[in-house]
Amino acid sequence: MSWLLAAPIVIPFTTAVLAFLFRNGPEGRWISIIGSAGLLIASGLLMQAVLADGVIARQMGNWPAPFGITLVADLLSAVMVVITGVTGLAVAIYALADIESRLEKLGYHALFQVLLAGVCGAFLTGDLFNLYVWFEVMLIASFGLLILGGRRQQLDGGIKYVTINLVSTILFLAGIGLLYGMTGTLNLADLHLAVQEVENKGLLTVVAVMFMVAFGVKAAVFPLFFWLPASYHTPSVAVSAIFAGLLTKVGVYALIRMFTLVFTEDVEYTHTILLWIAGFTMVTGVLGAAAMNDFRRILSFHIVSQIGYMILGLALFTPLALVGSVFYLVHHIIVKANLFLVAGVARRIAGSTELSAIGGLYKTAPVLGLLFLIPAFSLAGFPPLSGFWAKYILVKASLDLEMWLIAGVALVVGLLTIYSMTKIWGSAFWKPHPAGLEPKLGSLSNRDRTALILPIASLAILTCVIGLFPEPFVQFAERAADQLLSPTDYVQTVLGLEATQATGLAQLEVGP
Amino acid sequence: MELLISIMVGVMIATGTYLMLARNVLRFIFGLVLISNAANLIIFVSGRLVAQSPPLIPEGADVPPELVANALPQALVLTAIVIGFGLFAFALTLVYRGYQSMGTLMSDEMRLAEPKEDGQ
């Protein structure tokens, strides 16, 4: 059974090695696609097992917890791995047409697969230091992908991205050191029990805030997001799509994990900070987007603003709010990656991502217009698309707590999102092309067109499916949020039953 | 001993922060190196320091006979050093490449990815 948990990490690593060996030929890209498909299948099997058996945990190398490294999958981890598989496969197919052979020879596919491995590892690990290691795996791969090709713009964005991420890494590491000094353990489940016995609660809160800042940088929340709009529009489209979909969400996942499982001692203090962060993140992100005039840069700022919604769910810390967060995470990854892919096609056929330099897409490429509208409206929260339900749950959760202000902010930000989406629509799709070009999908070769449109269409269909049949997804999110708020199962599965009974976990449970 | 190292960590972080406030990216990286080593020391100290007692278990016994040094933080620090080394090698190369192609190390002048717009 332990292969089930290890497979989402092992498969991409193996694929990376093979893809690197065959990087000079056309085999590399097909290996990458097969590997991504393998990852999707493995994640599906994992999801099935988690749905059937509840939380699954395996001790790597058979060292008993909390001494060895544990891999754990609860519903949140499992769904994140599945969604990694989906986006990974979509982007791998898109890369067939998007990544030139020069970049392939430099090892694009290998880096891409290492990135997927790092992301899956971060979702599945049950050990804090191991989480740090996976963050590093993910980071170094993303550094490579970001500057692959070495254009001057990429180097410029890369320097900002690399330096600020290193700062966050160091904070994370120092936080781990301090937490270990206080509790003597690094296993997340064990930490859940150990922090309750820490006497110096003040120091614990300080460490909690260190983690908040460290993960906040990765998740690109206000006021730590400046690296994101500085770098995400510079690499190849496939790269920025996978970054936009997955990377910041690993930060959000880490925040959710740490602030539901470990740092729940001073919810009043930490989650109030998170609430302010959420509000400011939403507003600054969407205002930044309104000021931009480039397809991908508008979308980059929107990532920031959407991260605010996910943090909002965590900050409210009620069952319904966490349902909203989980739902939002899943919906957002699909939609955001998809929008970047659409921007790539627009650049391919119209020549640029600068809004003033393109136009006329609606007239000559109506299919692309439709494929843009679905994720764009979903992002803004139009019913019946997936974004509507995500926003609806979060707004309802804040109204239930009588937090009128934050509910209002969430709604207004939704409106402003529509504003910048219509800006893209107006300039890229409606107005005639300034150079008189007639951008057509037909100008692409058959193979390129399939490779570009297939992933976009599939992700758009997925968005529609979530939007039209939200019931099972919401139910799933409810179960996931339930597990997050009462981590008894998680802790028991990881540590084995006896250990938790001895400490009387049942009374110590946190919950609404 | 723990107090001394804690003070040293404080000094290293302060120095590192001062360096990181500079506009010169190279200085920033040097500050980062200092702080990352301070973080390693934090992990090292948080395992508590015990002088002259290596974590060895005599043959036949299951547990060490007396209080010994904690080996886990050292393993963690080792991992962190290796990872940090790789990252900084990359960061330095990146800054050097950036200097070659942009001709500057000042972060204010690096505006290629985010060019100034009119009216600013």
Report DSSP state, residue A197. Answer: G
Residue in the structure block whose two tokens are 């790092």:
A118
CB A440 within 8 A of CB A354: no
Distance from CA of B68 to the nearest CA of A (A): 15
In a domain, A510, yes or no: no
The pLDDT of A223-237, averaged and rounded, is: 88
The pLDDT of A481-493, averaged and rounded, is: 87
Distance from CA of B62 to the nearest CA of A (A): 16
**Which residues of A are less than 8 Å from B117 in CB distance?**
293
In a domain, B31, yes or no: yes
The distance of Cα A253 from the centroid of its chain, to the nearest Å, equals: 8
Amino acid at A88: G
**In what helix (H) or strand (E) does residue A72 lie, and over which residues does it extend?**
strand A70-73
In a domain, B14, yes or no: yes
Whether residue B80 and residue A162 make contact (CB cut-off 8 A), yes or no, is no
Residue A3 burial by CB count (10 A; 0-12/13-18/19+): exposed, middle or buried? Answer: exposed
In a domain, A157, yes or no: no
In a domain, B112, yes or no: no
The pLDDT of A44-72, averaged and rounded, is: 87
Q: Give pLDDT, residue A85.
A: 94
In a domain, A354, yes or no: yes
Neighbouring-strand partners of residue A59: A70
Question: Tell me: the pLDDT tens digits for A443-485?
Answer: 888 888 888 899 999 999 999 999 899 899 999 999 999 888 8
Q: Tokens for A39, please give them.
A: 């990852």
pLDDT-wise least confident of A191-205, A411-425, B54-68: B54-68
Domain count, chain B: 1
The pLDDT of A406-419, averaged and rounded, is: 90
In a domain, B33, yes or no: yes
Whether residue B112 and residue A153 make contact (CB cut-off 8 A), yes or no, is yes
Residue range of the domain that includes B16: 2-51+68-104
> In a 3-state reduction of DSSP, which class is residue B24?
strand
Residue in the structure block whose two tokens are 């007239």:
A363
Domain count, chain A: 1
In a domain, B18, yes or no: yes
ipTM above 0.85?
Answer: yes
Residue in the structure block whose two tokens are 């997050």:
A484
Distance from CA of A90 to the nearest CA of B (A): 27
Average pLDDT taken over every residue of chain A = 88
Nearest-by-Cβ selection for A162 from B45, B76, B94: B94
Question: Tell me: the pLDDT tens digits for A145-155?
Answer: 998 888 888 88
B115 vs A290: CA distance, rounded Å? 17
The pLDDT of A90-117, averaged and rounded, is: 90
In a domain, B10, yes or no: yes
**Which residues of B are less than 8 Å from A182 in CB distance?**
46
In a domain, A410, yes or no: yes
Residue A508 reports pLDDT greater than 50: no
Rg, Å, chain B Cα set:
21
Domain containing residue B6: CATH number: 1.10.287
The CA-based angle A346-A351-A353, given to 5 degrees, is 60
| Numbered residues of chain A with Cβ closer than 8 Å to any chain B Cβ | 129, 132-133, 136, 139-140, 143, 147, 150, 152-160, 162-163, 166-167, 169-170, 173-174, 176-178, 180-182, 229-231, 233-234, 293
Question: Tell me: the pLDDT tens digits for A111-138?
Answer: 999 999 999 999 999 999 999 999 999 9
Residue range of the domain that includes A405: 266-468
In a domain, B41, yes or no: yes
What residue in B sits closest to A174 (Cα-Cα)? B39
Residue A414 reports pLDDT greater than 70: yes
The pLDDT of A198-218, averaged and rounded, is: 91
Full-model pTM: 0.92
In a domain, A485, yes or no: no
Nearest of A112, A88, A141, A109 to residue A24 by alpha carbon? A109
